[in-house]
Amino acid sequence: MSERRKRAVVVTGASTGIGEACVALLVESGFFVFGSVRKDADAARLQARFGADYAPLLFDVTDGEAVAAAAREVEQWLDGGTLFGLVNNAGVAVPGPLLHLDIEDFRRQIETNLTGQLRVIQAFAPLLGARRPQGGPPGRIVNMSSVAGRHASPFLGAYNASKFGLEGMSDALRRELTVYGIDLILIEPGMIATPIWEKADRADVSAFEGTIYEPAAGLVKKWAVEGGRAAPGPETVAQAVLRALTAPRPPVRIPVHAGNMLGLLPARLVDWLIAWRLGFHDIRRGLAARSTGEKNGL
């Protein structure tokens, strides 16, 4: 089959982890895949691995001009046809207690995981069928959310904000896109074993040293890295993405290893349990005792 007659899908954040696993499964399933990366070295490596069924797109989702140029490149390849799917996978995680998180770091989190996703969607939506006339049936959008888009955790507030926002934005956009027949599906992974945990293990948390959250932040980092390394691989998420793109009537949300029982409990009880596990109750009692002692001149 000619490459230009194959169904084409764009996958952002394709250099490692979930993105690369998506490219691998989609190529194996007979798709032609455009995978976005930020480095020439990653483009060359993926090209060598996937050969003629893959084409790299060089852009960062925060760079509007580069995203627009990539969309023009894909449009030229389609030659009047319609893009089969867009998989918005690119993203970052900026950890830290919100009271001490630098505002620029928070802004970077939202810009990458939320604003960047909309930027990509706006650029590629016409190729999915959000225009008239269109050269084929409408395509689908798959947004990579997270269990963190529905259940918040301490020290991941910025990431939670980006994913909660992505959930809401996706619901609104899906309803708006019905006028074009374009569907939008959310994938909600739990912990998945990817290189992100190696990055997390090396993450610099010195900015939070000396704050009341320092001991708990160290615990959360340790638990997260250990849990992430022991989690299922990214291939399970790739299977969910393939389902979202090809099932006749896919569900709006597809959870992947998102077994968080805390979501079934009352929110106040969850607050108490998390505070207990992080030692917040003991810290609070210590602060109260010190305050009382100072008042009494002790």
Annotated catalytic residues are 159
* Phi/psi at 237 (5° precision): -70, -40
**Taking the CB of residue 273, how many other CB atoms lie within 10 A of it?**
12
Strand order in the sheet with 253-256: 54-58, 32-37, 8-11, 85-88, 140-144, 183-189, 253-256
The amino acid at residue 132 is: R
**Among the listed residues 241, 42, 210, the one whose alpha carbon sits nearest the alpha carbon of residue 141:** 241
**How far from 64 is each of 60, 81, 169, 286, CA to CA, in Å?**
8, 24, 19, 50
**Taking the CB of residue 219, how many other CB atoms lie within 10 A of it?**
13
Displacement of CA 151 from its chain's centroid (Å):
15
H or E element: which one contains 187?
Answer: strand 183-189
Helices in 177-279 by DSSP H: which ranges? 196-201, 214-229, 235-246, 267-277
Q: What angle do CA 145, 94, 163 make, to 5 degrees?
A: 20
**Taking the CB of residue 92, how many other CB atoms lie within 10 A of it?**
17
For the four alpha carbons of 125, 130, 133 and 139, in that order, the dihedral sign comes to positive
